[in-house]
């Protein structure tokens, strides 16, 4: 496998891109979390924040090479992220049913500011799903389409 | 109009001019490298000038700080993106346009 795609591994890192990404990506990541946490009270939300977080990881992949990033951020981690996000969303929603509320009725929890915390947690769950899906889509696309033998290798 | 407003209008007009130069460059120039050359510099300068004018208009407020941060972000990332595109094109073996290509097209 590694012998056939020599054109991918021939990628040489650029100092300019690496330095810029090193400076910029922490801010982008933080801004993504900021957007996620602000979903309840101002402009923002899980989807946008998740997209920004994913873009910071895709930037790392551009700067340091896609294969090193794939080794650093294993596919199972991304799957776990998506699973935890979906579980958070469904858990918050179903949990309200246990407190005699409707699905996603945050007020049923009876905590002070329960609506706000409920929305925040759901936004974080959505953000985790979106970030995970975007990163895994990018990684799969970057892997190339040379698996022309048909069956998918899970 | 106050002198500050004249300055703001001047900065924004200069920004619009350089953005226009970038658009002319991306339409008129022949290949990827020359287009990246035109857009990266002119577009960055146009954006920075416009955002500088807006930051002046906000005055001493949080919005001005946010605008300046956005300005710095554009100033760092825009040339880097152009560099990454031109570099990727060079890695893919795209030949730069030369004067001898002119009669071919």
**Which ipTM value was assigned to this complex?**
0.75
pLDDT reported for residue A5: 43
Taking the C-alpha atoms of A103, A105, A109 and A114 in order, what is their torsion angle to the nearest 10 degrees? 140
Name which of B90, B12, B19 is nearest A11 in CA terms. Answer: B90
As a whole number of angstroms, the longest Cα–Cα distance in chain B is 57
pLDDT reported for residue A99: 85
pLDDT reported for residue A6: 42
What span, in angstroms and rounded, lies between the C-alpha atoms of B35 and A95? Answer: 56
| pLDDT digit string, tens, across residues A13-61 | 788 888 999 999 999 999 999 998 887 777 778 899 999 999 999 999 8
Please check whether residue B98 lies inside any domain of the structure. Answer: no
pLDDT reported for residue B102: 67
| pLDDT digit string, tens, across residues A59-103 | 998 888 888 888 888 889 999 999 999 999 999 888 888 888 888
| pLDDT digit string, tens, across residues A114-132 | 888 888 888 999 999 999 9
Structure token digits, residue A141: 């696309």
- Whether the CB of A37 is below 8 Å from some CB of chain B: the reply is no
Residue B96 DSSP code: P
Closest approach of B37 to chain A, Cα-based (Å): 16
**Given an 8 Å threshold on Cβ–Cβ distance, is B76 in contact with A16?**
no
Would you say residue A151 has pLDDT above 60? no
Name which of A18, A124, A152, A135 is nearest A78 in CA terms. Answer: A135
| pLDDT digit string, tens, across residues B9-66 | 999 999 999 999 999 999 998 888 999 988 899 999 999 999 999 999 998 889 999 9
Would you say residue A147 has pLDDT above 80? no
pLDDT reported for residue B104: 53
What span, in angstroms and rounded, lies between the C-alpha atoms of B68 and B88? Answer: 30
User: Number of structural domains, chain B?
Assistant: 1
**Given an 8 Å threshold on Cβ–Cβ distance, is B83 in contact with A62?**
no
State the pTM of this model: 0.78
**Given an 8 Å threshold on Cβ–Cβ distance, is A62 in contact with B84?**
yes
Please check whether residue B44 lies inside any domain of the structure. Answer: yes
pLDDT reported for residue A69: 87
Range(s) of the domain holding residue B52: 1-90
**Given an 8 Å threshold on Cβ–Cβ distance, is B76 in contact with A17?**
no
In chain B the first and final C-alpha atoms are separated, in Å, by 51
**Residue of chain B nearest A17, judged by CA positions:** B80
- Whether the CB of B73 is below 8 Å from some CB of chain A: the reply is yes
């Amino acid at each position: 496998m590694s012998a056939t795609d020599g054109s991918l591994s021939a990628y040489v890192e650029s100092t300019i891109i690496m330095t810029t990404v090193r400076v910029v990506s922490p801010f982008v990541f933080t801004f993504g979390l900021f957007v996620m946490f602000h979903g309840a009270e101002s402009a923002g939300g899980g989807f946008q924040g998740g997209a920004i977080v994913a873009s910071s990881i895709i930037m790392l992949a551009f700067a340091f090479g896609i294969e090193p990033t794939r080794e650093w951020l294993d596919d199972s981690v991304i799957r776990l992220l998506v699973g935890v996000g979906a579980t958070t969303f469904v858990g918050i929603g179903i949990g309200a049913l246990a407190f005699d509320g409707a699905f996603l009725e945050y007020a049923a929890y009876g905590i002070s500011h329960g609506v706000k915390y409920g929305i925040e947690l759901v936004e974080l769950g959505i953000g985790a799903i979106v970030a995970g899906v975007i990163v895994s889509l990018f990684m799969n696309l970057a892997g190339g389409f040379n698996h022309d033998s048909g069956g998918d290798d899970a | 109009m106050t002198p500050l407003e004249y300055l703001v209008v001047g900065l924004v007009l200069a920004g619009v001019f350089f953005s226009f130069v970038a658009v002319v460059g991306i339409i008129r120039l022949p290949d990827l490298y020359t287009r990246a050359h035109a857009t990266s510099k002119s577009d960055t300068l146009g954006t920075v000038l416009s955002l500088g004018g807006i930051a002046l208009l906000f005055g001493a407020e949080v919005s001005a700080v946010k605008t300046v941060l956005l300005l710095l972000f554009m100033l760092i990332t825009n040339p880097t993106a152009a560099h990454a595109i031109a570099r990727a094109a060079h890695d893919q073996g795209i030949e730069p346009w030369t004067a001898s290509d002119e009669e071919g097209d």
